[in-house]
């Protein structure tokens, strides 16, 4: 008698996600990062600051995922790609798409001129053409300083220099003094902060010029500890400033979204319009040259044509009669 064969086991059916699910998940993650980058921890490697520095570029995820969804004929991916596009538009659309509001009554220019600039005279001549009444410069060298002083003097008769930073003004400058923003980790001679009172037709304006320490990107992530420490010292000086109206110009080695500049942003407002990517000059990917204000409104900011520096100059429009609601 032949033994009965047992019925073959029914194969287990694994769940198969809908086509485009991976792209949809990536879209949701990108939208979440755009909406709340502070959720990315800053340790290890200060990844939070790195994410915030490159945040506007995260919007490129949307068209990439949209194309992937269309190629795969995946409605889920196509629909999800809209999400990061909407969040990007809400957060950055006004800065990139609406142009620069030039309604301010004061034009200022911020420029890191580079200590390796081979043409300081040409750079100074370009700054003269920017229409500014106040110019802040960083990375001034003893060799180049006399050139800037000579070329800028006709348009900016008042100037002050402290270490490697300088301020040129069409308005008289008083109460000039250095600002100590040197982190404890730097032991050599180091002076990158300056404060002065500009006597404008609209009243006194406290002007700060600063060059915060550089950050470095490597295998261990972003190294910004010295920059962050210097930002805290600068923020304390600005917070204690007795004049209500304050203008800060400088190479802060960080974007306005970078949490490392949070202490400064707690007391100062950024530009209301304009992107003005300033670094590196050959292919700018971020604005690390900043113009921030208190009890005044920076209506807009734009980048200027390149000079002999690895930074682009930025011009900002400031309304001394209006303030941003905080």
Q: Where are the domains of the chain?
A: 21-97, 106-216+223-319
Measured CA to CA, the distance from residue 131 to residue 108 in angstroms comes to 8
Q: How confident is the model at residue 164 (pLDDT cuts 50, 70, 90)?
A: very high
Average pLDDT over residues 2-19: 61
CATH topology of domain 106-216+223-319: Deoxyribonuclease I; Chain A (3.60.10)
Residue 211, beta-bridge partner list: 251
Q: Find the mean pLDDT for residues 184-196.
A: 92
CA 236 to chain centre: 20
- Count the neighbouring beta carbons within 10 Å of the beta carbon of residue 18: 10
The whole-number pLDDT of residue 43 equals: 82
The answer to whether 164 and 191 are in contact (CB under 8 A) is: yes
pLDDT for 94: 80
> Across the strands, what pairs with 216?
223
Residue 202 and residue 297: Cα distance in Å, rounded? Answer: 14
Contact of 278 with 254, CB cutoff 8 Å: no
Predicted TM-score of the model (pTM): 0.90
| Structure tokens that stand for 297 in this block | 């409104």
Comparing 93-107, 114-128, 182-196, the range with the smallest average pLDDT is 93-107
Is residue 220 within 8 Å of residue 45, measured between CB atoms?
Answer: yes
Determine contact, residues 211/251, Cβ cutoff 8 Å: yes
| Per-residue confidence band for 321, with pLDDT thresholds at 50, 70 and 90 | confident
User: What does the pLDDT average to over 274-281?
Assistant: 96
How is residue 299 written in tokens? 């209506």
Q: Is 19 exposed, middle or buried (0-12, 13-18, 19+ CB in 10 A)?
A: middle
Q: What is the pLDDT of residue 246?
A: 98
Judged against a pLDDT cut of 80, whether residue 7 lies above it is answered with no
**Cα–Cα distance, 22 to 27 (Å, whole number):** 9
Instruction: Give start and end residues of each alpha helix (H) in 240-314.
Output: 262-265
pLDDT for the residue 11: 59
């Amino acid at each position: 008698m032949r033994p009965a064969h047992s019925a073959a086991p029914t194969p287990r059916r694994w769940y198969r996600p809908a086509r485009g699910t991976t792209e949809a998940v990536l879209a949701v993650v990108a939208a979440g990062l755009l909406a709340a980058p502070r959720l990315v921890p800053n340790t290890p490697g200060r990844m939070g600051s790195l994410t915030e520095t490159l945040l506007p570029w995260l919007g490129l995820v949307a068209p990439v995922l949209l194309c992937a969804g269309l190629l795969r004929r995946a409605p889920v991916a196509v629909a999800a790609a809209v999400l990061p596009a909407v969040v990007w538009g809400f957060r950055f659309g006004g800065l990139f798409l609406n142009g620069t509001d030039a309604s301010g009554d004061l034009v200022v220019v911020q420029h890191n001129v580079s200590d390796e600039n081979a043409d300081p005279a040409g750079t100074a001549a370009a700054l003269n053409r920017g229409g500014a009444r106040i110019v802040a410069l960083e990375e001034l060298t003893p060799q180049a300083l006399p050139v800037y002083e000579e070329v800028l003097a006709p348009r900016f008769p008042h100037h002050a220099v402290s270490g490697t930073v300088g301020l040129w003004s069409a308005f008289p400058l008083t109460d000039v003094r250095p600002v100590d923003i040197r982190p404890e980790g730097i032991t050599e001679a180091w002076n990158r902060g300056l404060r002065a009172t500009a006597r404008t037709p609209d009243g006194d304006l406290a002007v700060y010029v600063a060059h915060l320490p550089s950050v470095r990107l490597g295998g261990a992530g972003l190294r910004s500890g010295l920059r962050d420490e210097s930002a805290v010292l600068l923020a304390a000086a600005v917070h204690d400033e007795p004049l209500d109206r304050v203008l800060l110009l400088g190479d802060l080695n960080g974007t306005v979204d970078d949490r490392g500049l949070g202490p400064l942003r707690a007391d100062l407002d950024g530009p209301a319009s304009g992107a003005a990517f300033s670094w590196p000059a050959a292919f700018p990917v971020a604005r690390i040259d900043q113009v921030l204000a208190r009890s005044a409104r920076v209506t807009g900011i734009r980048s200027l044509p390149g000079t002999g520096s690895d930074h682009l100059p930025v011009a900002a429009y400031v309304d001394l009669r209006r303030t941003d609601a905080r």
